[in-house]
Structure 1
Amino acid sequence: MIALTRVSLKSPKTVPVCLSVLLVLLLITVFAPWLAPHDPIQVNLANKLQPASLDYPLGTDHLGRCNLSRLLYGARYSLGFASLIFIASLGIGLVIGSIAGYKGGFIDYILMRFCDGVMAFPSLVLVLGLVGIFGPGLMQVVFAMMLVQWVYYARMFRGMIVSLKERHFITAAKISGSSERKIIVRHMLPNVLPPIAVMGTLEMGWAIMDISALSFLGLGIQPPAPEWGAMIHEGKNYIRSNPELMVYPGMMILLVVISFNMLGEALSDRFSVKRRFEKW
């Protein structure tokens, strides 16, 4: 099994296939209002737990809502807010990591000791604690995950900047009189683009998993919003009679996470980039 997995990850078709899957999901996210056959939050108890039909291709849930429509709209929450969390956390981590790595000294020591303190705990535990303080809800989850995630990126970028700082082309830029801002923006940041691409694909899977897990626990996106983790939570009471209520959103989460992870691993092999940190 391990050998088959390695072969598939190094296959030249891995990147195009994963990109195609993610592109389709992106299009679904954008055009969900036109693709969904019904209102995803409209309750119709007369049609509850209906099997698949022409009107309801994937049937209905316990409140008579269209499962297909809720899956399509759920991509907006899972992919959209995972992207927001990643971009915001990456931006904060990039700025702080670059400053710490380039400046060094006392500033580097204080910032990295803070990051070490946060990284000493599992990220999901910290997010749960922050959500417990802020209260359940979508924006609270997004804010809590951003507060936790940026330290991992800052630590990684700091290591990259420290190694680049000793390179000859950086020394030449300093001698030529380039400002610190110009050196970081024009000479250092372009060299960390491949790791950013790899990190983005790998960490998007984690962000989607975290959002879905918190929604499943009732701390994230609140009903009636059609988020995949919340749909699994609502369908768990019908696991014996209507298991599809949990299977459909679970398969969507699995598909997205596998696509991001396989794409990230393939890009990592192609760019010879190794993952610099682990969350757990």
Structure 2
Amino acid sequence: MAGTAAERSFVAACVQMRAGKVATRNVDQAARLAKQAAEAGATYVQTPEMTNLLVRSRDELFAAILPEEADPSLAAFQELARALKVTLHLGSLAIRLEGDRAANRAFVIDPAGDIVARYDKIHMFDVDLPDGESWRESATYRPGEQAVVVQMPWGGLGLTICYDVRFPTLHRALAEHGAEVIASPAAFTKKTGEAHWHVLLRARAVETGAFVVAAAQGGRHEDGRETFGHSLIVDPWGRILAEAGEEPGFILAEIDLDKVADIRQRIPSLENGRRFAVTPLPVEPATLREAAS
């Protein structure tokens, strides 16, 4: 259920980080920037994917992470939300699961310090690139199976993480189930970010008629990777309201959710969408194609 008229506008912040291999340092970095954002007027503060730890080595990762109930980073962030009196959205933390798997898990923490939503990243980035670079998220992380829209005082917040941005059906489903703001925290690589980051986030906003808030990792990290940065806040018309560079910091924008209703009325693509079947046509034999030519 949407909030009252008085609650339909709020200030959102993206905290941009350059996380490394030591969780306590990452927590300190995020907390310092979140505090600055709150002091600047933000009541919803989002951090990037992998706020607590960014490390490529599987052995180093599992030597550092803990189950949710024992994770000191999560406890510290709950206390931070309580102290700042803000909604603190952890883009994701690396959380140990049973066996040899982890979760790439987002947490939404309310101003009382209580966890009001969790989301495990659904889509895993598994790819072998022509330059020899290889990524296998599914070898380490267990994919999520449940999309999440959490009801905030002002309306619905849809949760995604990084690679999820390439799957528009997820975003449409979130919007159809009440999301007026869609979160897209990320640790996008520099190369793919330069090519696709802006266009993907703006497209997801336009397609859903929702605000998109995307806190990012940026710069060269301890493990050698380079992330794109450029945290963004995009309105339902696809306009960029705020953008960061590559350095750690934060950005702010006012979110006026009356704009969501206005845009969705002007372009009612969520209502106009129809289910349809796909009929695969037979492949024409090469001999017939050659004869026709």
User: Could you say which structure has the larger radius of gyration?
Assistant: 1
Compute the TM-score of the two structures, normalised by the length of structure 2. 0.24
Higher relative contact order (CA 8 A, sep 6+): 1
The structure that is helix-richer by fraction is 1
The structure that is strand-richer by fraction is 2
